[in-house]
Amino acid sequence: MKKIMLCAFVCALVLGCGEDNSTEPETKEPTEDSSFFFPLQVGAIWYYYEEGHADATRSVRVWDAITLDDTTYVLYGNKSSEADILYQDKWGRVYKRFNDKNLLWLDFSVDDGGTYHYKLSEKLDYMVTVTRRLTIDYDDQKFENCIQFDFEVPTIENQEETIILAPDVGIVKHETVYYTRYLKSWELQ
């Protein structure tokens, strides 16, 4: 009887250890390469103007590539000294390096209307909603098949952000509570 009880206990323990009790959301492996949405090659540059100030432009570029822990990252931003450190995986998903961790920033594998989390801290846990197949028109420019990422922290007022990317171009519109920037022109390498 003791052998049967011991056997049952061991079986329960083995089966219990095999269960996945993870609280992490299920990650969906993309079925196709999405790197064309955000071409992050060194030397690429995008020129933006702020809504209401079409005559002033701000440039954002890929400054350089660096290697950390056998992973290649790019420095992306207005100034190289203040640039974000980005990693683009083999499917085009873009991660931001934050506190020595890669945080999934732009997940192109999420279906239309789907969501995921972009968590910077306990307080800044963004729920990101993805909208696909958008057409963006402004200033005699038309971008089709765009993808939109809406970032929102439900517990904090005024923490919304929207990023819209066009295929083979990159970010065409970036909207926060402080500004709305539109792409004026770009140079890809």
Q: How far apart are CA 146 and CA 40, in angstroms?
A: 17
Which pTM does this prediction carry?
A: 0.81
**pLDDT tops 60 at residue 13:** no
What per-residue confidence (pLDDT) applies to 21? 33
**pLDDT tops 50 at residue 99:** yes
Specify the residue for token string 């952000």.
Answer: 161
Question: Burial, 84: exposed, middle or buried (Cβ in 10 Å; 0-12, 13-18, 19+)?
Answer: middle
For residues 152-158, give the mean pLDDT: 86
Specify the residue for token string 């517990």.
Answer: 155
**pLDDT tops 70 at residue 32:** no
**pLDDT tops 50 at residue 60:** yes
Q: Is the model more confident about 75 or about 9?
A: 75
By C-alpha distance, which of 49, 44, 37 is closest to 186? 44
Q: Is the model more confident about 83 or about 2?
A: 83
Q: What is the DSSP letter of 140?
A: T
Helix ranges, 28-149 (H):
none
**pLDDT tops 80 at residue 28:** no
Q: How far apart are CA 70 and CA 180, in angstroms?
A: 36
By C-alpha distance, which of 124, 128, 104, 106 is closest to 115? 128
